[in-house]
Amino acid sequence: MAVPSRGHLREIPRARPLRDEQDELQLQAPRFDLYRLHLFVAVAQSGSLTAAGDLLGLPQSIMSRHVARLEKDFGGMLFVRNGRGVALSELGARVLPGVRQMLQQAAELAQTVDEYQEEPRGDVRVGLPSSLRGFLTVPLYFKLKEHYPLVRLTLKEGSTRQIEHWLRSGEIDLGLTHRYGRHSDLPSDTLLSLDLYLVGPRGDRVTRSECVEFRRLAGLPLILPQSPSEFRSCLDQAARSHHVTLDVIMEAEFGQIHQDLAKLGAYCVSTWHMIAEHARTGELQASRIVDPVIKRDIALAHSPGKANGQTNRAVAQLIRKIMASDAVTSATAR
């Protein structure tokens, strides 16, 4: 263990007994001084008071006084002299592992405090589906520029399956994913829950009402994502549960091809914000699927072990605020 000099160590103030006679709580000073514990480890590693003193920039006389005080605190000798310097006593050998653990915990605590006090900085890599690009990329860029100018953002688009793989492998720090009632092993929280719609052409009788029962999908020419995908698995499971046969005429990831073919008489399943503009112009119609209602959740997931980094937390909080904004909620709800 590297031992810093006294000038690089934080001074640990001793707690003083309360002087208020009406206060019944009696506080005692810490039993062990962290700086002296660092000295103890240095002497144990070097086997010499002189060598440890040289490392710490202290004369042997000062080292001896610190060791004597430590031995008083521990209630016994920590070192025994030999021909080459000093060696750990039985007590010293017994307490050394605990001292090292205590110093490690103190260092981790100091790092935690520093992280909360420092301004977020560094690289943050975020994965997201292309369907959320319009909601997130521009607002996040400007919010980072305003609040955390030292943070460098990298965006990577992919499917939910890809994004979760990148999170587990550490290729990205944060990821927005689509989920359909599934629990994930990744640390995450749900940001939005969106209804799914059956989308059809202008003047279509099936989609002219506000809602459509899932059973009405039977026999319709559908364009759906290719299996295996969580979206497709969700629809297939609902079809099996309700004894509905889906007629899938084409498999493709959702995009312009779905909208183009829906205008020509085919059908697709989508969230509202993906087809809202086409519905407003009358090019497409959409009915919310019910009996059962099928939801697409948008979750913010973290790479394991990286969820608590201060910079990641700061960016994650900005993402939550953007996804909860009126602009997003109004665009995703009919």
The tens digit of pLDDT for each residue in 94-144 reads 999 999 998 888 877 876 766 665 788 889 999 999 888 888 999 999 999
Looking at residue 19, its pLDDT comes to 46
Average pLDDT over residues 24-45: 73
pLDDT score at 258: 67
Tell me the domains of the chain and their CATH numbers. Answer: 26-117 (1.10.10.10), 122-191+297-332 (3.40.190.10), 194-295 (3.40.190.290)
The whole-angstrom distance between residue 264's C-alpha and the CA centroid of its chain comes to 43
Contact 53, 17 (CB under 8 A): no
pLDDT higher at 320 or 27: 320
Q: What mean pLDDT is reported for the chain?
A: 84
Distance from C-alpha of 149 to C-alpha of 317, rounded to nearest angstrom: 15
pLDDT at 28 over 50: no
When mean pLDDT is compared over 25-34, 55-64, 281-290, the highest value belongs to 281-290
CB 3 within 8 A of CB 42: yes
pLDDT at 327: 80
d(CA 64, CA 12): 21
Sign of CA dihedral 41, 46, 47, 52: negative
Lowest mean pLDDT among 9-18, 31-40, 264-273: 9-18
This prediction has a pTM of 0.62
Helices (H), the chain: 34-46, 49-56, 60-74, 90-117, 133-147, 160-169, 230-241, 256-263, 272-280, 310-323, 326-332
As a dihedral over the C-alpha atoms of residue 290, residue 296, residue 297, residue 301, rounded to 10 degrees, the angle is: 160
